[in-house]
Structures are given as C-alpha cells and as structure tokens.
Amino acid sequence: MAATHSNPRTVEEIFKDFSARRDAVIRALTTDVDQFYSDCDPEKENLCLYGYPNDSWEVALPAEEVPPEVPEPALGINFARDGMQRRDWLSLVAMHTDTWLLSVAFYFGARLNRNERKRLFSLMNDLPTVFEVITERKPLKDKHGVDSGSKSRSGTKRSSDGHAKGNPRLQDGSYVEEDEDEHGETLCGSCGGNYNADEFWICCDICERWFHGKCVKITPAKAEHIKQYKCPSCSTKKGRP
C-alpha cells in the first residue's frame, strides 16, 4: 500500500490533501477505469479504493491496524462489480468515495476552529463531487488553486446557512461561474430583479424565496450570524395574532 504523507494541519494543507486524493480516485473511475475494473476482482477479498496525497490510487485490502491511521474507504466494493451495470456500479463507488474524502478531510481538520472548518468546507464544495463527475452532472474543472476560496462571496447566491438554490452543497463565490446559467431565471422576492453573479443573495428559510441582500438590508457579514433567515414578509406573518 502506498505510504501516506504527514498529517496536514492548516486549511490549505488539508484542502491540498483532499484535492490530490479526489483527483486520484476520479482518474481511477475515468481515465484508468479499465484497470480499476480489472483490479476489483469479485473473487478477491474485501477491497477498497484508496486515493493518496501524491495523486496515485490503489485498490487494496483495508489497513490491518485498528483504528487505522486515517478513516477507511468503503469495504468490499469489488463484490458488487458483476451484479450491477458497470455505470451504476461506478456511480455507487463514487458516492462512497465522496463520503470517504469528506471523512478524511475532517479527520485532519478536527482541531480547526469553526471559521476554519467553514472555509475548508467552502473550498471543497467549490469542486464537483466525484459522483457528479462520474455521472457527468458537473464537468470536471481544470486544475484548481488552493487559493480558490479566497475570492469574495459577494457574488454567491446563498442562504444564511450557506446553501445554494437547488443544490444542497455549500457554495463559494468562485463557483458562481459554473452555476450562473442554472440560477439565471431566479427573481428577487422583493424587487423582482434577475439573479446577478456580482450581487449577494440570501434565501428565506420559511418561504424559500431568494432576495438581493441589499433589498432586505442583509450583508454577507450579517448573514454569517443568522441561524435561520426570515424575509420581511414571513417575519410580519409570524407577528400577527
């Protein structure tokens, strides 16, 4: 089994580790898929798909030590290989791989503070999931920089808890370019204006309508401290007897 690198500690180091592992498993499920398929022989023992920080991947037995150095991937992915359509099997492996990548990242990030965890989550969610890439729901972007999360959030259409319309994943401003067409028909619940990638948007957690931040006097900084946002209309309704 390939050797792992020293444990990353900063947000940037953890994101770099996450990105390298992600790139490796995506390659296994796309470019190297024939080799991956062959390695997952159902006649062998319980096998896992590992992605490593050096951009390599491996189908191997789980670690013998308990607990392992890092969280383990899904066990026995090879057993379902011949019982499913190839595409469905690859999609299933991709979903389990996404959960593994998250678990490894937040294992390394266990000592991060709240803001650091939020920043790490935003960086990771700027990228399509492995499942989205495999099923072609999202195109695979070109090589990304670790600083992709440093862009302003002013252009991000998001609710107070960071959720984007129609997408349960956290969004960072740098992801807007890819999703702008998807959200282009959204209208502000206050002024009726169209979605604009250069403006901050917020979603009401009650009626689920979207608003320009400026129309409801909410800034990105204020939104960070709102656990549940209620638009002016919903706030008024609750106040009635």
Round to whole Å and give the CA distance between 201 and 164: 9
- Residue 35's pLDDT is 97
- 180 band by pLDDT with thresholds 50, 70 and 90: very low
Is the pLDDT at 149 greater than 70? The verdict is: no
Q: Which helix (H) or strand (E) holds 119?
A: helix 114-125
Q: What angle is formed at CA 151 by the lines to CA 183 and CA 130, rounded to 5 degrees? A: 60
Judge contact between 150 and 188, C-beta under 8 A: no
Per-residue DSSP letter, 110: T
- Across the chain, mean pLDDT equals 79
State pLDDT tens for residues 62-98.
988 888 889 999 999 999 999 999 999 999 999 999 9
State pLDDT tens for residues 111-144.
999 999 999 999 998 999 999 999 987 555 544 4
How many CB atoms lie under 10 A from the CB of residue 237? 12
Sorted by where each begins, the domain ranges of the chain are 11-139, 151-232
Mean pLDDT, range 11-17, rounded to an integer: 94
State pLDDT tens for residues 150-176.
333 334 444 434 443 433 334 344 333
Round to whole Å and give the CA distance between 39 and 134: 18
3-state secondary structure of 74: coil
3-state secondary structure of 173: helix
Round to whole Å and give the CA distance between 94 and 138: 14
Is the pLDDT at 42 greater than 50? The verdict is: yes
State pLDDT tens for residues 43-62.
999 999 999 999 999 999 99
Mean pLDDT, range 32-50, rounded to an integer: 96
CATH superfamily label, 151-232: Zinc/RING finger domain, C3HC4 (zinc finger) (3.30.40.10)
